DNA sequence: CCAATACTGAAGCATGTGCTTAAGTATCGG
DNA sequence: CCGATACTTAAGCACATGCTTCAGTATTGG
């Protein structure tokens, strides 16, 4: 079939599995090794590694290996690019608020609880 | 396996297919019948109907049948609920702008290009 | 050094997915 | 009424996915 190889399809596909979304959530709290990621999950490390490969293939996480430990972390750009699919597809009512938000974001840096 | 039945998984799964995203895009320009949706797509109407069933099962579109014509339209809430998964998962830098947007959206109705 | 640790990779099984074809069932227009 | 229209549904095929087991390969601590 060889048809779902575009980045958006890969990302949505990756997020369609609750185990993988849990892994993303874990990684949002900070980088973690394969063992650390596998520990709370009720399946073999092998399966977790396969899930991580899907997430990495979708550009949602990245990893690097130091010694025998591979450490994963979220790729914020991957998440943002996926979320960006929705923005131009909001209904007009939602879009008006949205355009305001973008306008303000462009014009003034925000204040943290002034 | 029977494991991907939660609404979020269904929605992401539905959006993981380019044909289905195209159908959503078509429907964002206005409601359409099955025939109208199937016409520009290079596959049988049967296949398109199956794609539409996936989208409807995921709560991304709705349909009603009048006479022999079934008309589909986007369900904006379904799309918004799916997009909402990303919001609390943005990195801190992005989140600051985001919280500003929400704050402003709550306080003042926007002006259209004054 | 060498056994424990931390993955890695291949094979295999059960199910799920994306199509097609083919045979329906309603409704409508004349 | 009756043929065209507009779906609907079921069966079946090829390939994808989510696991498991099992057999590796590097690293590392003592």
B17 SS3 class: coil
User: B11: which residues sit within 8 A by CB, 6+ positions away?
Assistant: B58, B59, B60, B78, B81, B82
pLDDT of A105 strictly over 60: no
Domain CATH code at residue A24: 1.10.10.10
Which of B14, B41, B85 has the most A C-beta neighbours within 10 Å, making it the best mutation to test the interface with A? Answer: B85
Domain annotation covers residue A110: no
pLDDT of A71 strictly over 80: yes
pLDDT value of position B30 = 96
pLDDT of A79 strictly over 80: yes
Q: Does A16 touch chain B (CB under 8 A)?
A: yes
Per residue in B50-81, pLDDT (tens digit) is 999 999 999 999 999 999 999 999 999 999 99
Domain annotation covers residue A111: no
Q: Please report, rounded to a whole number, the percentage of residues in chain A having pLDDT higher than 70.
A: 77
Which bases of chain C are contacted by protein, using any atom under 7 A from a CB?
A: 5-10, 15-22, 26-28
Residue B46's domain comprises: 1-108
Tokens of A21: 């979304």
Which of B11, B99, B110 has the most A C-beta neighbours within 10 Å, making it the best mutation to test the interface with A? Answer: B110
Mean pLDDT of chain A, nearest integer? 87
Number of structural domains, chain B? 1
Domain annotation covers residue A36: yes
| Cβ neighbours around A58 below 10 Å, total | 22
Domain annotation covers residue B68: yes
Residue B77 pairs with which residues in a beta bridge? none
Low-confidence ranges of chain B (pLDDT < 50): 1, 108-114
Q: Furthest-apart CA pair in chain A: how many Å? A: 55
Domain annotation covers residue B113: no
- How far apart are alpha carbons A63 and A71 in whole angstroms? 5
Domain annotation covers residue A26: yes
pLDDT value of position A103 = 63
Tokens of A53: 């490969």
């Amino acid at each position: 079939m060889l048809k779902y190889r575009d980045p958006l399809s890969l990302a949505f596909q990756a997020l369609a599995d609750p185990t993988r979304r849990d892994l993303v959530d874990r990684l949002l709290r900070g980088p973690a090794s394969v063992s650390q990621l596998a520990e709370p999950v009720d399946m073999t490390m092998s399966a977790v590694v396969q899930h991580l490969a899907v997430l990495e293939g979708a550009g949602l996480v990245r990893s690097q290996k130091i010694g025998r430990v591979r450490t994963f972390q979220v790729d914020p750009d991957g998440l943002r690019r996926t979320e960006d699919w929705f923005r131009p597809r909001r209904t007009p009512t939602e879009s008006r608020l949205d355009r305001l938000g973008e306008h303000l974001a462009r014009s003034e840096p925000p204040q943290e609880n002034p």
